[in-house]
Amino acid sequence: MQKRSSLLALSLLAFGCKVDVTPPSAQPAPKVEAAPPDKALAQPAKALPSANRTYKLSDLKTLKATANGHELTLWVMDDENKRREGMMWLSPEEVNDAEGMIFVFDKPQKLSFWMRNTIQGLDIIYLSPTGKVLNVQQGQPLDESPLPAKGLSDKVIELKAGWAARFGIKEGTQVQLPSGLKGKP
């Protein structure tokens, strides 16, 4: 019997298993510390996806735009880095229904957007240099398919999915924007 126990211990050791041969009565009791009463029910904070953003919404300029009598509050994305980040990482809870972004470019050009790292659906509204809607594209969360403009555009508005239709914004709608709005290259 002694040989068999020694053989079993050696084979377990050879296969990398850790065996505690101390009898349970000789093992020390595990140390248990009670949490302070105010921490006992605390839950770890859940980080919002927007923690990944470079540009916090509170740090961005905003402007007011009007379409079909609806006032929109738009965060201004007027340089390459801001335009690149856009609505990435924003959850629907962080954007109110009449809020969105306006992407402002330095000159009219053929534009196409995608939804990389964008976790909510969006309406992508391409504007002509005069502020008339060229077309509205529906972007699906995280879809990297190109969503192009139907013409030359120097401004693009992004709203939460479905809100362009609710506000009656469609091809041909005129959007009133502050004058002199110009993006940086």
Give the tens place of pLDDT for each residue, 31-82. Answer: 434 444 444 444 445 567 788 899 999 999 999 999 999 999 999 999 999 9
Q: Which two tokens stand for residue 64?
A: 């007011």
Assigned domain for 1 exists? no
CB 122 within 8 A of CB 86: no
Instruction: In whole angstroms, give the CA distance from residue 135 to residue 102.
Output: 15
Output the pLDDT for position 50: 81
Assigned domain for 86 exists? yes
Q: What is the pLDDT of residues 90-102, one digit of tens each?
A: 999 999 999 999 9
Its pTM stands at: 0.75
Assigned domain for 120 exists? yes
Assigned domain for 169 exists? yes
Assigned domain for 183 exists? no
